[in-house]
């Protein structure tokens, strides 16, 4: 990989120890992927959950900040392992440690938006921009829906934030963004859970090849596309997809494949029902715990959940968690939606979720969710998970 | 010290010595317990093995991006693999090896990896990209 004189100097430490460490990561990633050079990024989305960083990760962020490193480009932050206000207050040892990670990132220059769904907060790369975004769910949305460019990043997003650079490979190359496997969607997935199951079904079947979908009508809302993206990323390693007539790089089938399309795999209602049956380890109606807002809910989704809860209340011994970020939670407070949700017994969290939380639910807990991603993650923790519509989830833990 | 029996591209510099822990399947480093260094990945040939101080040899990394910070935490506790030798290194493995200062050799073809049998004592040069018997 060819480095400019300035990049070489950063690798040699001329721009400080933080930039040197970041350049070591980017240089090695670029060499491993035969990248010809480094390219500038316009933004980064950086992970900082305590469950991922551990104590050593927190210490790393603090040492970067104390050493004088500063981000070269705008950066947003992913979810936390405790609620954002708890992290700021540092009420428990975990919260205090999480708060130190957040404070270090803010000192480095990050925006403390603390969300896996920064798009609803107005943080969205523009078409054609190269960026470095962590959080697997964000990559298909950035690439396919927004037409910007990111690989699936982890600690590399931190390195890109510190340098403003990323190696030119993968999603940054036109030829790596083309479709490779075709799915014909014959059944409208319908609601949030339907699009989430569609993402899981296709993620499982695409075997690492970039999927192209035809027949998705009408064009799905952003919330539905994000449900699809999160599940697709959870059930596969792909960083993008194409939805013909919907996503910007797929105006036609031929454009999605940059040539002739392969034979299609049919997606029908039976496949989506089969996907739910494969995921479900419990009857959703028996749930003790319902988790909504994976990825973090938009204001529209909070209003939909409040409407489903109208005249109902969460039953004794049952729990309804709704995850979002602090901006949407505040907007819901002003609109009266938050009061309605809380009065009905729902708990609306800001900046965290049940999976990244250090406070874990016991193994065997019966969990229903409208997100195939949340089901996948919590099943890996030994919970008895089930996917159902938002409405059926709400009804499972509430009564009139 | 013998001559190299496996060669690749050195991605993270450093000299390490240790016994090989070999797997024919990719390893999810995020599944290594950061407090013990033991891999918990059902179905993986190295499931249940303590990887601290071992030279981990496998085709590739896989799984969650939190694996990078797991390697950093392991290294800070002295529980990390001594070195990592792979066919194909992904960004998660690379970032973790840089942060944890774990010598990493990438692009080691299967015939070379097969010479690195489980338990063999080796010396890894992460700058040169070579593995030699001890």
* pLDDT 10s digits, A34-89: 999 999 999 999 999 999 999 999 999 999 999 999 999 999 999 999 999 999 99
CA distance B128 to chain A (A): 14
A63: Cβ contacts below 8 Å, ≥ 6 apart = none
Going by their DSSP bridges, the two strands A165-167 and A38-40 should be labelled as antiparallel
Could you tell me the residue range of the domain that residue A217 belongs to? 179-277
Report the pLDDT value the prediction gives residue B63, as an integer from 0 to 100. 83
For range B84-98, the mean pLDDT: 97
B64 is catalytic: yes
Q: How many CA atoms lie within 13 A of B18 on its CB side?
A: 24
pTM assigned to the model: 0.96
Report the pLDDT value the prediction gives residue B33, as an integer from 0 to 100. 95
In B, which residues are within 8 Å of A60 by CB distance? Answer: 72, 99
How long, in residues, is chain A? 400
Report the pLDDT value the prediction gives residue A104, as an integer from 0 to 100. 98
Report the pLDDT value the prediction gives residue A53, as an integer from 0 to 100. 97
Q: What is the mean pLDDT of chain B?
A: 96
| Interchain pair B75, A56: CB under 8 A | yes
Report the pLDDT value the prediction gives residue A280, as an integer from 0 to 100. 93
For range B12-21, the mean pLDDT: 98
CB A279 within 8 A of CB A383: no
Residues A189 and A137 reside in one and the same domain: no
Choosing among B66, B77, B92, B127, which should be mutated to test the A contact, i.e. which has the most A CBs within 10 A? B66
State the CATH number of the domain containing residue A27: 3.30.499
Report the pLDDT value the prediction gives residue A318, as an integer from 0 to 100. 98
Report the pLDDT value the prediction gives residue B132, as an integer from 0 to 100. 98
The domain total for chain A is 3
Give the DSSP H or E segment for B88.
Answer: strand B83-88
Residues A355 and A308 reside in one and the same domain: yes
Report the pLDDT value the prediction gives residue A33, as an integer from 0 to 100. 97
- Residues of chain B above pLDDT 70, percent: 99
CB A98 within 8 A of CB A81: yes
In B, which residues are within 8 Å of A21 by CB distance? Answer: 98-99
Report the pLDDT value the prediction gives residue B100, as an integer from 0 to 100. 98
pLDDT band for position B1 (cuts 50, 70, 90): low
Report the pLDDT value the prediction gives residue B64, as an integer from 0 to 100. 86
Going by their DSSP bridges, the two strands B6-7 and B9-12 should be labelled as unpaired
Task: Write down which residue in A114, A142, A174 finishes a domain.
Answer: A174
Low-confidence ranges of chain A (pLDDT < 50): none
Q: What is the pLDDT of residues B33-64, one digit of tens each?
A: 999 999 998 889 999 999 999 999 999 998 88
Residues A25 and A161 reside in one and the same domain: yes
Residues A236 and A141 reside in one and the same domain: no
The CATH class given to the B6-133 domain equals: alpha beta
Residues A47 and A164 reside in one and the same domain: yes
Residues A273 and A288 reside in one and the same domain: no
In B, which residues are within 8 Å of A134 by CB distance? Answer: 65
Nearest CB to B95 within list A54, A59, A155: A155
Residues A98 and A156 reside in one and the same domain: yes
Task: Write down which residue in A116, A143, A174 finishes a domain.
Answer: A174
Burial of A111 (0-12, 13-18, 19+ CB in 10 A): middle
Residues A305 and A222 reside in one and the same domain: no
Residues A13 and A100 reside in one and the same domain: yes
Residues A309 and A256 reside in one and the same domain: no
| Interchain pair A32, B70: CB under 8 A | no
Q: What is the pLDDT of residues A267-290, one digit of tens each?
A: 999 999 999 999 999 999 999 999
Report the pLDDT value the prediction gives residue B42, as an integer from 0 to 100. 86
Residues A186 and A164 reside in one and the same domain: no
């Amino acid at each position: 990989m060819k480095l400019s004189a300035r990049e070489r100097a950063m690798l040699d430490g001329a721009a400080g120890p933080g930039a040197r460490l970041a350049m070591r990561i980017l240089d090695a990633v670029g060499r491993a992927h035969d990248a010809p050079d480094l390219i500038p990024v316009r933004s980064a989305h950086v992970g900082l959950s305590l469950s991922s960083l551990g104590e050593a990760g927190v210490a790393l962020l603090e040492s970067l900040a104390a050493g004088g490193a500063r981000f070269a480009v705008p950066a947003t932050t992913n979810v936390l392992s405790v609620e954002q206000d708890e992290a700021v207050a540092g009420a428990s040892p975990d919260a205090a440690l999480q708060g130190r990670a957040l404070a270090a990132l803010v000192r480095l220059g990050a925006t403390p938006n603390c969300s896996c769904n920064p798009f609803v907060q107005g943080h969205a790369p523009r078409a054609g921009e190269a960026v470095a975004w962590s959080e697997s769910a964000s990559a298909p949305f950035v690439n396919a829906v927004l037409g910007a460019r990111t690989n699936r990043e982890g600690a590399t997003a931190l390195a890109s934030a510190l340098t403003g650079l990323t190696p030119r490979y993968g999603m940054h190359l036109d030829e790596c963004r083309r479709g490779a496997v075709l799915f014909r969607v014959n059944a409208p997935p319908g609601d949030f859970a339907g699009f989430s199951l569609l993402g899981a079904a296709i993620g499982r079947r695409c075997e690492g090849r970039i999927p192209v979908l035809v027949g998705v009508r009408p064009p799905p809302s952003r919330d539905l596309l994000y449900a699809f993206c999160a599940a697709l990323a959870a059930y596969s390693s792909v960083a993008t997809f194409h939805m013909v007539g919907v996503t910007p790089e797929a105006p036609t089938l031929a454009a999605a494949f940059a040539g002739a399309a392969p034979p299609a795999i049919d997606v029908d209602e039976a496949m989506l029902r089969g996907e739910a049956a494969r995921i479900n380890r419990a009857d959703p109606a028996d749930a003790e715990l319902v988790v909504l807002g994976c990825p973090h809910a938009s204001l529209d989704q909070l209003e939909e959940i409040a409407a489903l809860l109208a005249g109902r209340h969460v039953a004794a011994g049952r729990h309804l968690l709704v995850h979002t970020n602090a901006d949407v939670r505040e907007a819901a407070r002003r609109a009266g939606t938050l009061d309605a949700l809380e009065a009905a017994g729902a708990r609306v969290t800001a900046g965290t979720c049940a999976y990244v939380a250090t406070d874990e639910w016991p193994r065997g807990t019966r969990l229903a969710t409208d997100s195939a991603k949340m089901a996948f993650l919590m099943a890996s923790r030994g919970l008895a998970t089930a996917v159902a519509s938002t409405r059926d989830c709400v009804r499972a833990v509430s009564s009139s | 010290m013998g001559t190299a029996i496996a060669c690749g591209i050195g991605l993270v510099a450093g000299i390490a010595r240790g016994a090989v822990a070999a797997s024919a399947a990719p390893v999810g480093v995020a599944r290594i317990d950061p407090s013990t260094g033991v891999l918990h990945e059902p179905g993986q040939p190295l499931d249940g093995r303590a990887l601290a101080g071992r030279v981990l040899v496998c085709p590739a990394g896989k799984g969650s991006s939190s694996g990078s910070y797991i390697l950093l935490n392991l290294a800070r506790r002295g529980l990390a693999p001594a070195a990592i030798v792979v066919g194909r290194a992904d960004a998660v493995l690379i970032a973790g090896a840089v942060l944890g200062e774990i010598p990493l050799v990438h692009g080691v073809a299967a015939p070379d990896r097969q010479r690195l049998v489980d338990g063999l004592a080796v010396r890894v040069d992460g700058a040169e990209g070579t593995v030699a018997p001890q």
